[in-house]
């Protein structure tokens, strides 16, 4: 058995490879086109920002829940033994700031 190919088979193989090469070159052209590169970069930045914002939200939510747990009991009732001293300190700070501003005038 001979591996000799006919000229028609060779021409057919060349055409097939040429068509495949044309498709590959078109794909490369799309990938390196500035608008494609810009779109890919924008998508990566958007994804990174979304991930960062998601982590920030989770962290902030965790912090707020922690602070809330300090001032609200498990049954939802306010913990006055903690709220009253913090409120008094807040009022004292506001009073001191007000007095300081009044003395400067």
Give strand ranges (E) for the chain: none
Q: How far apart are CA 94 and CA 87, in angstroms?
A: 11
Structure confidence by residue, pLDDT tens digits, 13-68: 999 999 999 999 999 999 999 999 999 999 999 999 999 999 999 999 999 999 99
Residue 99 lies in a domain: yes
The total of structural domains in the chain comes to 1
In a domain, residue 104? The reply is: yes
Query: Does the residue 17 lie in any domain?
Result: no
94 is a domain residue: yes
Statement: the pTM of the whole predicted model exceeds 0.85: no
Token code pair at residue 66: 């922690």
Q: What is the pLDDT of residue 77?
A: 92
In a domain, 91, yes or no: yes
Q: Quote the pLDDT of residue 105.
A: 80
């Amino acid at each position: 058995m001979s591996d000799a190919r006919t000229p028609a088979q060779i021409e057919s193989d060349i055409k097939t490879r040429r068509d495949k090469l044309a498709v590959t070159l078109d794909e490369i052209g799309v990938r390196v086109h500035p608008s494609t590169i810009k779109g890919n970069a924008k998508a990566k930045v958007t994804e990174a920002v979304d991930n960062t914002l998601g982590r920030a939200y989770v962290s902030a939510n965790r912090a707020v829940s922690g602070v809330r747990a300090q001032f609200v009991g498990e049954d939802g009732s306010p913990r006055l033994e903690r709220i009253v001293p913090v409120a008094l300190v807040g009022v004292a700070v506001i009073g001191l700031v007000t007095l300081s501003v009044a003395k400067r005038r």
